[in-house]
Amino acid sequence: MSAPAPAPAPAEIVSGADSARADIAAQSETIGDIINRLDSWALAVGDWRVSAFDVLFAVAAVLLALAFAWFATRMTRSALRRLTALDGTQRVLTEKIATIVIWVAAFFVGVDLLGIDLTALTVFSGAFGLAIGFGLQKTFGNLISGIILLMDKSIKPGDVIAVSDMAGNHTFGQIRKIGIRAVSVTTRDEREYLIPNENLMINQVENWSYSSKNVRFQVNVGVSYDVDMELAERLMLEAAKKARRVLDTPPPTVWMSEYGDNSVNFTIHCWITDPEEGVGNVRSEVLKNLWWLFKEHGIEIPFPQRDLNLRDNPQVRALIAALESRMETE
């Protein structure tokens, strides 16, 4: 009767540690003994075995792969910033693609360095992949959305877009950075909004500098019904032209908008080419210039006036009689 075949030894998941252990042991007997002692402390479950040396080797390999990816990313970013042939959008897009390629390459280098037998992990691959799919679905969606935004240049760093806060108040801000997950938008009051890339892909976005940075804004002015309207219009145009940032081409224009309750209302239309510097400060400069011009030419800026009519009733007559008697006593 033949002897039973010996049981197969458990397979090493980190097979790269075996070759590393043999190479180190060949170089130094003392270090080889230490490594063999670490390798003797092992955990064997089923068909696979992991020793203390395997864990240390895996940690060292992972740290080496991470260091390689970090250094390569920094060097690539530094090289791209020195390229003058690429504009800001192309530089950011190239940097993101290069970063993805570097980290994927670092992953496979780490796997090759460790010599991991991926077939030994097939039991967990389905559940792990499902968990990653659900957990990182939004992350990958935002990553792809950011790359698409950079490729079609609909949203790029430096653009000025309209944003709204949690209370529904609308303002505008400048895009500082398009990250893996979100776009960083900074407003004039230094509030920084982090807007997910997917939101900019599926929602309507008001981009003030998509095809042109020329932006028109309005300044509302009211004058009295008694003033010379032609003179008032000329002074409004003069006040707009005196503002530093208002463009000469296209020139500012003045429209009469309505006959108000207390004034004739006009709208001054002005053009600027640097919306990232703000609009309110230009509007303030135009109004200040107009204030002094109106003062110089005697043009009145009206204020609300109301006529008060009191109905004749016993209470009103008693009030009037009391006032008259008080005036007589004085």
Q: What does the pLDDT look like over 89-100, one tens digit per residue?
A: 667 777 777 887
CATH number of residue 107's parent domain: 1.10.287
Tell me which residue range forms the domain holding 175. Answer: 153-202
Does residue 24 surpass a pLDDT of 60? no
147 occurs within a structural domain: no
Residues 96 and 171 in one domain: no
How many domains, in total, are found in the chain? Answer: 3
Q: Which of 169, 202, 235 is the last residue of a domain?
A: 202
328 occurs within a structural domain: yes
Residues 173 and 255 in one domain: no
Residues 17 and 128 in one domain: yes
84 occurs within a structural domain: yes
> What pLDDT, on a 0 to 100 scale, did the predictor assign at position 137?
73
pTM score of the predicted model: 0.56
Q: Which of 77, 106, 135 is the last residue of a domain?
A: 135
**pLDDT level of residue 287 (50, 70, 90 thresholds):** very high
CB 15 within 8 A of CB 58: no
> What pLDDT, on a 0 to 100 scale, did the predictor assign at position 322?
81
**pLDDT level of residue 231 (50, 70, 90 thresholds):** very high
129 occurs within a structural domain: yes
Looking only at Cα atoms, what is the longest distance across the chain? 143
> What pLDDT, on a 0 to 100 scale, did the predictor assign at position 5?
45
Range picked from 31-45, 209-223, 279-293 for highest mean pLDDT: 279-293
Instruction: State how far the Cα of 160 lies from the Cα of 151, in Å rounded to an integer.
Output: 18
Residues 30 and 74 in one domain: yes
Residues 166 and 252 in one domain: no
Q: Which residue intervals of the chain are DSSP H helices?
A: 16-27, 29-40, 52-81, 88-114, 122-135, 137-152, 197-202, 229-242, 280-297, 314-329
27 occurs within a structural domain: yes
Write down the mean pLDDT value for the chain. Answer: 76
**pLDDT level of residue 268 (50, 70, 90 thresholds):** very high
**pLDDT level of residue 131 (50, 70, 90 thresholds):** low
Cβ neighbours of residue 254 closer than 8 Å, sequence gap 6 or more: 233, 236, 237, 240, 266, 267, 268, 269
Residues 216 and 323 in one domain: yes
Instruction: Reduce the DSSP state of residue 157 to 3 states and report it.
Output: coil
- Residue whose structure tokens are 């280098």: 109
Residues 126 and 226 in one domain: no
Instruction: State how far the Cα of 236 lies from the Cα of 254, in Å rounded to an integer.
Output: 7
**pLDDT level of residue 282 (50, 70, 90 thresholds):** very high
Tens of pLDDT, residues 185-214:
888 888 888 888 888 888 888 888 887 888
Encoded amino acid at 15, one letter: S
> What pLDDT, on a 0 to 100 scale, did the predictor assign at position 8?
47
Does residue 304 surpass a pLDDT of 60? yes
> What pLDDT, on a 0 to 100 scale, did the predictor assign at position 284?
94
267 occurs within a structural domain: yes
232 occurs within a structural domain: yes
- Residue whose structure tokens are 């698409």: 148
CATH number of residue 191's parent domain: 2.30.30.140
146 occurs within a structural domain: no
